[in-house]
C-alpha cells in the first residue's frame, strides 16, 4: 500500500524548487506577495522564484522589487517592459540608475517605449546588462535634444551587446545630422544578430545601410522603413546584401509615412509575456 505524505502550508518552502514553482505559477502577483509575508522562508522562496521577476514593469511590482531588492538574487531579473511615453522618461532614468547600482546584470530582454534616450543613460544600461541582452526593442517618441543627450542610434546596441539576436529600433534620432554609425561599427562583426528592424523617421539621405550589413553577417531578417530603403538606390545593393549577409532570407520594406510602427506588430513576437 503506497503512502501519501501531506505537507502543511508552512512546509511548502522546504519542498523541491520544481514543486514550489508549480504552486507559484498558479498564483497572481498579489497572491505571491501575500505568501511572502507568511515567514522568512516563504519570503525567500517567493522572491527568488524566477517567474516572479521574469518581467519588470513600472507598476506595483517595481515598488515591491525596490523594497526587497537586497534579498533577490541578481540573476532572478530576466526582463523589463517599460512604457514611459508622455513626459515620464525620468522614471526610466531612475530605473536604469537603480538597476546599475544594484548590479542586476542578467536581464536578457527589454522592451522600451520611452520619449528619448540619452547616451549617458544608454551606456549605463548597457554596462549593466549589455552582455546578457538577447532581445531589445526600443521605441523613441521624441527627437529631444537636451544638454546631456548625444546621438543614440541602433549601432550602439550592435556594438555593445555581443549576444543580441533580435534588435528593433524605432527612431527618431537626436542630432541625426551628427550621427555616424560607420564609426561605431568599424571592424564589428556581430556573430549572433539574426533579426534587425529599423524605423528612423528623420533619416533622409545620410544613412549608409551597408554599414549595418557589414557588421551583422548572420542576419536572416531585415525590416526597414521606406526612407531608409530609399537611401540604398545604388544598383549594386542586392549584390552587397548577398555578399555581407549570405543567410538573409527575408526583407520587409514599409512606407514609414503611412505606418511607422504597424508593420512591426506581427514581426515582434519574441517578447515574453509579463505576469500580471
Same domain, 258 and 121: yes
Nearest to 229 by CA among 195, 258, 197, 261: 197
What's residue 261's pLDDT? 44
Grid coordinates standing for 217? Answer: 553577417
What are the residues whose beta carbons fall under 8 Å from the beta carbon of 233, sequence distance 6 or more?
Answer: none
In a domain, 156, yes or no: yes
* Class of residue 16 by CB neighbours under 10 A (exposed 0-12, middle 13-18, buried 19+): exposed
| Number of domains making up the chain | 2
Give average pLDDT by consecutive 10-residue segment, the chain, 276 residues: 52 77 86 86 84 78 82 86 72 88 93 86 95 93 51 87 94 72 82 91 69 89 75 68 89 61 46 44
What's residue 107's pLDDT? 94
In a domain, 271, yes or no: no
In a domain, 63, yes or no: yes
What's residue 164's pLDDT? 96
Same domain, 40 and 122: no
Same domain, 40 and 137: no
What domain range is 131 assigned to? 57-264
In a domain, 52, yes or no: no
What's residue 263's pLDDT? 47
Nearest to 174 by CA among 225, 118, 112: 118
DSSP H or E stretch at residue 226: helix 226-229
In a domain, 65, yes or no: yes
Same domain, 33 and 144: no
Tally the residues of the chain: 276
Grid coordinates standing for 6? Answer: 501531506
Classify 192 as helix, strand or coil: coil
**Interatomic CA distance for residues 227 and 248, integer angstroms:** 21
What's residue 91's pLDDT? 79
What's residue 185's pLDDT? 82
What's residue 142's pLDDT? 65
Same domain, 98 and 211: yes
Indicate the pTM of the whole model. 0.81
Same domain, 213 and 104: yes
What's residue 134's pLDDT? 96
Same domain, 79 and 159: yes
**Interatomic CA distance for residues 133 and 107, integer angstroms:** 6
Grid coordinates standing for 20? Answer: 514550489
In a domain, 273, yes or no: no
Same domain, 143 and 214: yes
Vertex 198, ends 192 and 199: CA angle to 5°? 165
What's residue 118's pLDDT? 84
Amino acid at each position: 500500500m503506497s503512502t501519501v505524505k501531506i505537507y502543511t502550508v508552512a512546509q511548502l518552502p522546504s519542498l523541491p524548487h520544481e514543486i514550489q514553482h508549480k504552486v507559484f505559477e498558479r498564483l497572481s502577483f498579489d497572491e505571491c506577495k501575500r505568501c511572502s509575508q507568511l515567514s522568512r522562508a516563504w519570503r525567500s522562496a517567493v522572491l527568488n522564484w524566477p517567474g516572479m521577476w521574469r518581467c519588470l514593469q513600472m507598476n506595483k511590482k517595481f515598488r515591491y522589487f525596490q523594497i526587497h531588492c537586497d534579498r533577490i538574487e541578481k540573476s532572478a531579473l530576466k526582463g523589463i517592459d517599460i512604457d514611459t511615453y508622455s513626459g515620464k522618461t525620468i522614471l526610466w532614468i531612475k530605473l536604469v540608475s537603480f538597476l546599475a547600482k544594484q548590479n542586476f546584470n542578467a536581464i536578457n530582454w527589454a522592451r522600451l517605449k520611452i520619449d528619448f534616450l540619452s547616451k549617458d543613460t544608454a551606456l549605463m544600461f548597457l554596462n549593466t546588462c549589455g552582455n546578457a541582452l538577447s532581445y531589445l526593442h526600443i521605441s523613441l517618441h521624441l527627437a529631444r535634444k537636451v544638454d546631456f543627450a548625444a546621438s543614440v542610434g541602433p549601432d550602439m546596441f550592435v556594438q555593445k551587446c555581443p549576444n543580441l539576436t533580435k534588435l528593433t529600433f524605432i527612431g527618431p534620432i537626436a542630432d541625426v545630422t551628427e550621427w555616424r554609425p560607420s564609426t561605431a561599427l568599424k571592424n564589428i562583426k556581430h556573430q549572433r544578430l539574426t533579426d534587425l528592424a529599423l524605423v528612423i523617421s528623420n533619416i533622409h539621405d545620410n544613412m549608409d545601410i551597408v554599414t549595418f550589413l557589414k557588421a551583422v553577417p548572420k542576419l536572416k531578417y531585415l525590416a526597414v522603413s521606406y526612407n531608409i530603403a530609399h537611401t540604398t538606390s545604388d544598383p549594386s545593393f542586392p549584390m552587397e546584401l548577398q555578399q555581407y549577409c549570405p543567410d538573409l532570407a527575408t526583407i520587409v520594406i514599409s512606407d514609414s509615412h503611412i505606418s511607422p510602427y504597424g508593420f512591426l506588430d506581427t514581426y515582434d513576437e519574441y517578447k515574453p509575456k509579463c505576469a500580471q
